[in-house]
Amino acid sequence: MTRFILANPQAERLGPTTDLAIPPDHPVARTVSSQSHVDLVVLRRVWNEKSKNFFANIRVDDVREVVRFFGTTAGAGGWRIAIVDSAEDLAPAGANALLKVLEEPPPRALFLIVSHQPARLLSTIRSRCRKLTLPPLAEADVLKAARLARPDLDGAPLQGSLPLAQGSVRRAITLAGGDAVAIHQSLMGLLARLPNLDVAAAHALADRCMGKGTEENFALLLAFLEEWVHQRLLAERGAPAHRLARWAEVWDKARRAAREVEVFNLDRKPFVLSTLSMLAEVSRP
């Protein structure tokens, strides 16, 4: 989409088109691929040289750079585009900084905001966007793209991550490179036994999300929990309204607590244990 728009700043003059394809040897295609186009900025987590890992969030300073970017004139005289990949990686301060420019965007400015879980975004951001729902990739396509991006992960770990990737290349790579599959198996084992809660297993799972370098584990645990609750609500669609309300109340409380853990850098273990306890309680008939 970015290549098409930057290559055709007056797209309305093209007439009917059937796709957004741009020849790979087109100058715009080359500069977009190398992220050197003067009218394109990509906002995502960056590499931390100290920890030799990606930052847990998109830094607020990087968001402010995007705000400044939109305060300048388009270098090629056409559109200016920002790709946010993904919005779930925005820390609260970064999301609020982005919201300021979304509220009053300059002319010929386009934000392509990738979101895997739109419900987690600020409602003020969602209300200012047009939603384009994309179908997930097939597992074969995810595997092909992941192998191109990270050939070092090819093998059993990558194959094992495909059923959990939900059509996302990035998620497949993330799952294959860490403790994600083990965390998912442990969590699903705990949730399958609700309302009975295996306290020892719950402590072992919470320990995987403690200390430095476990931010990704915690983010994955939250994602797995949200997916499980979503599926549980779908399965209970015929239940009485008061029961569905209890599920919604528990999950809303858990989400607010998770945000506090991330914002105030609180101990993650109590959150994990208390959330599992709440889910066990609401699972009782």
Whether 27 is in a domain gets the answer: yes
**Claim to verify: residue 22 and residue 119 sit in the same structural domain:** yes
**Claim to verify: residue 183 and residue 168 sit in the same structural domain:** no
Tabulate helix, strand, coil % of the chain (nearest 5): 55, 10, 35
Whether 131 is in a domain gets the answer: no
Q: How many domains does the chain have?
A: 3
Q: Can you give the pLDDT at residue 120?
A: 77
Residue 225 is part of which domain span?
Answer: 178-282
**Claim to verify: residue 111 and residue 37 sit in the same structural domain:** yes
**Claim to verify: residue 35 and residue 104 sit in the same structural domain:** yes
Q: Can you give the pLDDT at residue 56?
A: 80
- R_g (Cα) of the chain, nearest Å: 21
Whether 118 is in a domain gets the answer: yes
Whether 25 is in a domain gets the answer: yes
Q: What is the mean pLDDT of each run of 10 residues along the chain (285 residues)?
A: 90 82 92 91 87 82 88 78 91 88 89 87 90 91 91 82 86 81 91 96 94 84 90 86 90 91 90 96 90
**Claim to verify: residue 140 and residue 111 sit in the same structural domain:** no
**Claim to verify: residue 193 and residue 143 sit in the same structural domain:** no
**Claim to verify: residue 19 and residue 96 sit in the same structural domain:** yes
Show the tokens assigned to 237. Answer: 């669609």
Q: Can you give the pLDDT at residue 194?
A: 95
**Claim to verify: residue 153 and residue 247 sit in the same structural domain:** no
Interior angle at CA 83, CA 77 and CA 84, nearest 5? 150
